[in-house]
Amino acid sequence: MKLKLLIPALLLSCTSIQSYAQSSPNGDAKVNCTTSTVSTPYYYGWASCSSRGRSLSSYIPRSATQWVTLTERHRDGNNYVTYQCSGYLPAVGNDQRTVENCQYTPRAVIRQHYIQESYDSRTDTTYYQAGIAVAAFEYSDRDGHITQVEKWVNGVSVTDHHIDVYEPTHVRLRVTDNHGHVTDTSKTITPSPEQICMRGGMLIICDGPI
C-alpha cells in the first residue's frame, strides 16, 4: 500500500471569524474586566507565655493567626520535658494584592470529523470513509450559561448537533450567553474524495490496495 501525507491546508479550510467584543476566534475570552485590591493581614513580633512555671518566648516573623503555639524541650535529669503554651503576637502587617475580575465570552467550536470504516491492528491504521465528513458543533460558557444557539449550513438555519457533509459546505455557529456576549464562528468543511487514514497520530491519504 502506498501512503502519502495529506497536507492539512487541503483537508481543512481556514476559519473566518466575526468578533463580538472578544479576541479569541472560538470565544472563552476575557471581557469587562475590573481590578480590586485585596488586603490580607498577617501577624509578627515577640510572643511569650508560661508553661508549668517556665517562661517561653520566641520572635515570629510572620503568622496567619495572632495567637501562636510556642514549644520548647528541656532536659530534666535523664529525660526531656516538653513545654508548650500559646503566645500573642502584638504587631499586624498587611499584604496587598490586585485581583482581576472578568466576564467571559461563550465558547463556540466547529470540529471536522470523519466516519470510521475499519481498523488494521497489524499496522495500527484506522480507515475512514471517503467522500464524507462530519461537522460537529460544540459550545459552553465558563461563567454562566448559553441562552441562544444558532447554526447555519450554506446559509440555511439548522438545529442538528452535527451534520454529514458530502461536498464543500460552509458551516456557521453563533452562541449567546446570559451576559449578552456573542461568539460567532464559521468554517468550510471539505470532505476528501480519497480515503483518509490515521496512522501514528497523523492523517494520511490511503492510495492503493490495503
Q: Walk along the chain (210 residues) and give the pLDDT tens digit of each residue.
A: 333 334 333 333 322 222 334 356 799 999 999 999 999 999 999 999 999 999 999 999 999 999 999 999 998 888 999 999 999 999 999 999 999 999 999 999 999 999 999 999 998 999 999 999 999 999 999 999 999 999 999 999 999 999 999 999 999 999 999 999 999 999 999 999 988 899 888 988 886 444
**What is the pLDDT at residue 20?**
35
What pTM, to 2 d.p., does this model score? 0.65
Start-to-end CA span in the chain (Å): 6
**What is the pLDDT at residue 207?**
65
- Which part of the chain has CATH 2.60.40.10? 2-29+105-207
CATH of domain 2-29+105-207: 2.60.40.10
**What is the pLDDT at residue 8?**
35
Place of cell 515570629: 60
Residue 29: beta bridge partners?
Answer: none
Pairwise CA distance, residues 134 & 163, whole Å: 6
Quick one: cell of 94?
498587611
